[in-house]
Structure 1
Amino acid sequence: MSGIHPFRVLRAKPLWIANGVITGVLALLFTVFYVGANVDPVDHMKNLPVGLVNADKGATVGGEQVNLGARITESIKKSTAGGDKIDWKVMDEKEMKAELGKGKLYGALVVPADFTSATTALTGAATAGTPTRPTLTVLTNQSAGSVGSSLARAVTTQAAESASLQVGKELTAQSGTRQAELPAAARILLVDPAAVTVEDGHPLDSHSGLGLTAFYYALVLVVCGMLSANVISGQVDHALGYTHNDMGPLRLHRPLIRATRVQTLAVSSTLMAGLSLLMGSLVMVGAVGLMGMHAAHLPLLWLFSVCAIAVSGIGALSLLAVFGTPGMLVVTLVFIGMAVPTANATTPIQALPGFYRFLAEFEPLRQITGGIRSILYYDAQADAGLSRGWVMMAVGLAAAALFGFGMTGWYDRKGLHRIPAGTEPEKTAAPA
C-alpha cells in the first residue's frame, strides 16, 4: 500500500480535465439534440403532408354549373401563403382514408358533397327560419404523432377559414342588390358562409396513449437492448475472468479463460440473442397484460419486439467491443441522444431542421417506432412502416456485425489483446 490518502486524487488536474471534457461534451450534445430539434418546429416545418378532398357535387346556379369546392381546393393548392410548409395532396375520400390509415397524412381538409348547394342557398329569396350553414371538415390524425397532427390542424383550419371568407366575398359580389331581400341571418352568414368543424380522421382506442404508445413501446425495446448490452458485456468479461464482479462488499473473480476479442463479442451476441426472447416477452406482458395497452397482432408484435431488442443489443455490444470504456457514451448518444428527437413521434420529421432529418433516415428508434406504429395502429400494413422497420433492422444488424467483428478481428490480428501474453490479472480475494 502506498500510504497516500485516497482524497489526494482530487488534486490531480488530469482527473478534473478528462471528466470535465467528457461530461461537458455529453451535456452539450444532449442539449443540442433535444432542444435544437424541438425549439421551433413551425419555422422548420417543410412539406408536411395534408390531404385535400373535394367531394362537392356542385349545383346549378343561374343556368350554370357551379362547383365551389373545386374553387376552394384549387385556391388552397395554388396559395403561396404557407410557402412550402404544407404539402397539399389532392385526392378523393377513399384515398384520403387509406392514407390516414397508414399514417402518411397528418390531417386533411374535406369539402362535403352538398357544399355548393348549401352555400348558394344563402343567396336565395327570403325565407322564414335560419339558413343552413355549409361546413368544411378538418380531419386530424393523432396516430401519426400528436405534434404533427396539431400543426396540420392549425394550418388546415386557417386555410378553411380563409377559403370561407373568399367564397363569402364572391357570393356577396354576385348577390348585389338582392342582399336586401335576404333574411338578416343570411346576410351575416354570407360574409363567412362556411362553418369549420374538426373531427378525428383515424380514431384510436382509448388505451393508445393519444397515439404515443407506439413510441414509448419502441423506446422501451431500444433501452432494453442498450442497457442489457452493458450488463451482458460486463458479465461475460467476469465469466471469462477478465474483470472482477463486485456484489455488495464482496469482490468475486473467476479464473482467466483467454478469449480473442472476436470470440468475446460472439459469446456476448449469442447471449443477447437468447435473452431477447425473454425480454421481448416480458415487455409485451407488462405493456399489454399488466398496463392494458391496446394491441393487435400479438404474435407479430412479439416477434418484432424480440428482433428489435436483439438488433439494438448487438449493435450496442459492437460499439462497446470496439470503443471499450468510452463505448457506453457512444451507445447512449446513438440509441438515446440522437434517436429520441428524430423518432418521428413527438415532433414530425417534416418539422425538424435538416441535420436531424438526415439522422432520422438511419437512427434505429425511428425505424422501430414506425414498425410498432404499423402493428398497433394501422393493422400491420406493410407500407405503413412495417416493411421499412424490418428492412432497416436487417441493415442495422448487418452493419453492426460487420463493424463489430471487423474491428475486433483487426485488433486480434494486430496483437492488441486485452491481456498481453504472459500476464495475469491481479487476484483479489473475497473477504471472509
Structure 2
Amino acid sequence: MVLAPIGVLTLLTALLGIMYLDYVIDPEKNLHDFPIALVNQDVGDTIGTADKQRQVNFGNQITDALAHGVPSDKVDLRVIGINEAERQMQSGRVYGAIVIPSDFSKRLGILGVGSVIPGDIQRPIITVQTNPRTGAFGTQIVLRVGNEALTEVNKQVGEQLTDQVNAQLAPKPGSPPAPELSGATRVALAQPVQVVVQQYHPLPHGTGQGLIGFFYALLLLLAGVVGAMVIHTMIDAQLGFVPTEYGPWYVHYPPTPISRFKTLLIKWGVLVLAANIVSAVFLSVGKVLDMPIDHPLALYLYSALAITAVGATGLSMLASIGSAGLLVNLILFVILGLPSSGGTVPIEATPKYFGWLASFEPMHQVFLGVRAILYFDADFDAGLSRGVWMAVFGLAIGLLFGAAVTRFYDRKGLHRGNRVQA
C-alpha cells in the first residue's frame, strides 16, 4: 500500500524531470543540423583602372567564408538558389535564409570609390530572412546564427575594402602625398555591409507568434488521451465491470455478459462519434476567438482523424493491460510526446534522442499536420502528408493491437468478472 505507489510516482516524476528539463535547459549547446538557406545572387563586378581591370565577386567570397565559418555540426547551411530557398521556406523545411543580392559586389565597389570621391553612396545589403511560421524560438536561433556569422564576414570584408582603398590612395613616385582617410570613412569601411532582417510571410494576428499550432495539436492529443480514459471508465461502469461513486453514493451494476472484443468495439464506436464532435467544438472555439483558420474543413477532418488515432490506441492499451494502461498512455503520449513535438523548441535545438522520439511520437506528427494547415496553406510537403499518413498508420496499429489482444483473451476464456483474491 505504501511502497508501490511511492515507487511508481518516483520513477514517473524522474522521467518527467529528465524529459522536460533536458528539453529546454541548453538549446544552444544541443543545436545540431539546424537548416538555414544561403542564397548568393551576386553577379560580380569589374574593378580597377582602364588599363588594368579584374573581375571580382564578393558574394562568392562571403559564401565560402560562411560555409567554412558556420559550424557544420550545428547548422545545416544549404547553398541553394532563390527559387529553391523560397520553396523550402514555404514548406517550413528551413528556418530562415541569408540572401546576398545581385548588385552586392557593385555596391561594395562603389562604396570603396565613394570613400575618396565625393558623391552619394549606399552600403551593400545582406538580408537575413526569418521564417516565423516555424516558431518564435527558431526565429531567434536564425537571428543569432546570422548575426554571429555576418559580424565576422563584415569584419573580413571591411579589412579587405580598407586595404583596397589604401592601395588606390598610395602616391605614385614623384607625386604629392595622398590625403589620409577621415575617421568617419574608416568607420564606414570597417563595417561596410548593412544587415537587414526581414520576415518571410509574416504571421497574421491571432496566432500567438506561432504557438497556436503547438497548443492546438496539444488539444487534439489531450482529447484523445483523456477521451480514451473517460470512455473506458464510464462504459466499464455501465457494463458493471467497475464501480462508480458519486459523492457518498456508490453504484456497482451486475457484470454484463459481453466479450472483451465487443466491449472494445463499443468503446471505439463511441470514440469516433466523440472525435468528430470534439473536432467541431475546437474549430468553433477557434472561430469565436478570431483565430485565423484559412482551411477549416481540412483542420476539422485532420483533427477528427488525430483524436481518433490517439484515442483508439489509448483504448486498446487500456483493454490490453488494464489500469496500467493509464500510465503507459501518460508516458507514451504526454511525457515523451510533448518535449519531442518540436512545437516550442525546434527538434534541432534539443538533445539528439528527441529527434529519434520525434520520428514516431504521435505529438510531433500531429503538430506537423496542424502547423501545415494553419501556417503553410495546408501544403502536403509542409508536413501534412506525414501527419496524415502517420495518423492512419498509428490508428491501424492501435486497432490491430487491441483486436489481437482482446480476441486472444476471449479465446483463452479470460472473461471479465469480479474475482476475489484470497
TM-score with structure 2 length normalisation? 0.92
Deviation at 1:174, TM superposition (A): 2.2
Q: Distance in 1 between matches of 2:112 and 2:197?
A: 26
Q: CA deviation at 1:183?
A: 5.4
The residue that corresponds to 1:264 in the other structure is 263
Q: Among 62, 76, 79, which residue is 1:90 paired with?
A: 79
Q: Sequence identity of aligned pairs in percent? A: 35
SS of the counterpart of 2:37?
Answer: strand
Q: Aligned match of 1:106 in 88, 91, 95?
A: 95
For residues 154 and 17 of structure 2, the distance between their equivalents in structure 1, rounded to whole angstroms, comes to: 43
CA distance in 2, matches of 1:130, 1:39: 49
For the residues of structure 2 that align with 1:370 and 1:50, how far apart are their CA atoms? 19
- Name the structure 2 match of 1:415: 413
Name the residue aligned to 1:39.
Answer: 25
Q: How far, CA to CA, are the matches of 2:211 and 2:329 in structure 1?
A: 24
For the 8 Å contact 2:33–2:72, the answer to whether it is kept is: no
Q: Distance in 2 between matches of 1:202 and 1:416?
A: 59
Amino acid in structure 1 at the alignment position of 2:34: L
2:125 maps to 1:169: no
User: Is there any run of 5+ residues in structure 2 with no aligned partner, and where?
Assistant: 170-178
Structure 1 CA distance for aligned equivalents of residues 5 and 93 of structure 2: 45
Trace 1:295-306 onto structure 2 (pairs within 5 A).
Answer: 295-306=293-304
Distance in 1 separating the partners of 2:355 and 2:4: 32
Q: Secondary structure at the match of 1:342?
A: coil
Work out the CA distance in 2 between the residues paired with 1:195 and 1:369.
37
The whole-number CA distance in structure 1 between the counterparts of 2:111 and 2:323 is 75
Partner of 1:51: 37
**1:181, CA displacement in angstroms?**
5.9
Say which SS state the counterpart of residue 257 (structure 1) adopts.
coil
Offset of residue 177 of structure 1: 4.1
Shift of the alpha carbon at 1:130?
6.2
Partner of 2:132 in structure 1?
Answer: 142
Offset of residue 337 of structure 1: 0.5
Q: CA deviation at 1:315?
A: 1.1
SS of equivalent to 1:243: coil
Which residue is 2:330 aligned to?
A: 332
d(CA) in 1 for partners of 2:241 and 2:167? 95
Conservation of the 8 A alpha-carbon contact between 2:255 and 2:417? no
Q: Distance in 2 between matches of 1:280 and 1:112?
A: 46
Secondary structure at 1:246's aligned position in 2? strand
1:248 aligns with 2:237: no
- For the 8 Å contact 1:215–1:373, the answer to whether it is kept is yes
User: Does the Cα contact within 8 Å between 1:371 and 1:389 map onto a contact in 2?
Assistant: yes
**Matched residue SS, 1:136:** strand
| 2:5 counterpart of 1:19 | yes
1:279 is aligned to: 278
Instruction: Tell me if 1:293 matches 2:291.
Output: yes
Kindly report the root-mean-square deviation, in angstroms, between the aligned alpha carbons of the 2 structures. 1.8
Task: Pick one of 376, 379, 396 that aligns with 1:378.
Answer: 376
Taking the TM superposition and a 5 Å limit, the aligned residue runs for 1:307-326 are 307-326=305-324
**CA displacement, residues 348-387 of structure 1 (integer Å, 9 cap, x when unaligned):** 1112222211111011010011011111111111110000
Moved more, 200-209 or 254-263: 254-263
Identify which range, 345-354 or 334-343, moves more after superposition.
345-354
- Tell me how many residue pairs correspond in the alignment: 406
Counterpart CA distance in 2 for 1:380 and 1:184 is 54
Aligned match for 1:77, one of 61, 67, 76: 67
Map Cα deviations across residues 363-413 of structure 1 (whole Å, 9 max, x no partner): 101001101111111111111000001110011011111222222222222
Q: Which residue of 2 aligns with 1:12?
A: none
Conserved? CA contact 1:109–1:160, under 8 Å: no
Provide the rounded CA distance (Å) in 1 between the counterparts of 2:200 and 2:154: 21
Are the equivalent residues in 2 in contact too, given 1:123–1:182 (CA < 8 A)? no
Deviation at 1:37, TM superposition (A): 2.0
1:358 partner amino acid: W
TM-score normalised over the length of structure 1 = 0.90
2: CA distance between counterparts of 1:303 and 1:183?
67
Aligned counterparts of 2:216 and 2:158: Cα–Cα separation in 1 = 48
SS at match of 1:124: helix
Q: SS state of the match for residue 76, structure 2?
A: strand
Report the Cα distance in structure 2 between the residues aligned to 1:129 and 1:181, rounded to whole angstroms.
18
Tell me the distance in 1 between the aligned counterparts of 2:28 and 2:54: 42
* Per-residue Cα deviation, 1:48-81 (whole angstroms, up to 9, x for no partner): 00010112232211222221111111221133x5
Aligned to 1:217: 216
Q: Which runs of 5+ in 1 are unaligned?
A: 1-14, 425-432
Is 1:131–1:186's contact at 8 Å kept on the other side of the alignment? no
Determine whether 1:188 maps to 2:193: no
What is the CA–CA distance in structure 2 between the aligned matches of 1:187 and 1:60, rounded to whole Å?
23
